[in-house]
Structure 1
Amino acid sequence: MNYRRITLRFAVVVALFLTLGAFVSGPFHQPYETRSPDYAIAHESTEAFDELLNGTNLDTDDPVEISDLSPETQRAFYELKAQPVESRYGGHSGWQHTDIDVCFRGMLVCDEYAERPDFRTTESYAPAADGPSISGSVVTHDGELYVAVEVLPSWDVSALLYMVTIVPFAAYGLFIVGFAYYRGESNPLLSLGSTGYGVPLVIWPYIMIYSGIDTNPIGFTVAGLALGIGCWITVWATD
């Protein structure tokens, strides 16, 4: 039996999926977007509602009916409506806010929001000189008015996070292919073990979804690479 051919094919497949997986999932190889907007609503009876209307050109004469929006947007509205009232965005009372996780577009399975809620926001509003810019719209539900806002983070480090993810994944992929090529015949079990270690790294976003863990796989990847290189050096030294 040609152990080298078997281990090399397995290693190439896993290495390819490791690299591709880092591209089609979110930064840190996790299932959710890292730069999703912050969402909140405020009822027409609140200070927050009045403040937003006073600071923008939003018009209450032609509000957007919640039932006309996408299912995910309606879901977000009802989830927001169930939250307690608090002060946000310049300290004005009346906001109802919750964290919304949006699945990265490359995910095959999603346990949170499949797409970003879209309240058709149009007007920008800055409650503080050094604060975030808020986009808002007026919506209506059961005959009552609300303002719905989206707040994007003022920073975006997605590109850096991608590099932090892709580099160790690609390095581990190169390692298992190289080990299978040079040692697959003489050490097939060690080669298969190193490659098999990469399989859960490939499907890590789905492990996070179904297991509930909230840990990125970068540390496991670096640890596996260090352990694998150590094994390779040991094997080479004992030949």
Structure 2
Amino acid sequence: MKQHAEESARWNLFARELEDRLREHGWNFNDLVSEAGLHPEKVRRLKRSLIQPKFHILNPEELEQVSMCFAFTGDEQIRLRAAILATAVEETLMNRIDPENALHAAEELFPVLIRALQQRFGQFRGLAATRRMLVIEESSPIHEAIDLILERFDQAMLALYLSRQSQRDYEHLEQATLAHTRFADVLSDLNALCAADPSLARDETWLFWHQETQKNLQAVEEDLSPL
């Protein structure tokens, strides 16, 4: 019974909201790859985060790309941003209370965040790339090890979003510093994994997340440079 409840919970509020918005437009998660040009690894982890308490999200550029590709309205884009913030709260509460209550608390906060962001709404810009790819589901010991490392990647991405949403300088600095530390830790762990198994340097999954981590680490450093 508990396993069934976990499978039906749709844990990641951001992934849940994104899936709902896609369905309303007649699309699904696989179309994030074939239509919006996201990497299959991103989509695989979004799917997984619905059935397990994981908190994978998209970076700001990817969110803009998806919003443009599927013609999400302003209200829908606000809901997705609010879902990211609610997911950050959920992830924080997971370390303090039981998962079900953490999810419930985040669900109750979600509409409050929507209303708050409606007062700060701004249009997204940019063009969505389109290309045809197949979503490849794969699981191996080495990819499971990468997934464990990427849990901190998700935490770092949430901290990055929180830093950019903060209106107080000290909160912005605190979250940006936390994001920097977590991205740096992820990069270090990925490098250590590759040192133990040099063949990973040619592994598409490892290469993708290594590049993603470097890119986001650089973005955080740019955010921190004026502070």
User: Is the TM-score greater than 0.5?
Assistant: no
State the TM-score, normalized to the length of structure 2.
0.26
Greater RCO (Cα-Cα under 8 Å, separation 6 or more) = 1
State the TM-score, normalized to the length of structure 1.
0.25
Indicate the structure (1 or 2) with the bigger Cα radius of gyration: 1
Bigger fraction of residues in helix: 2
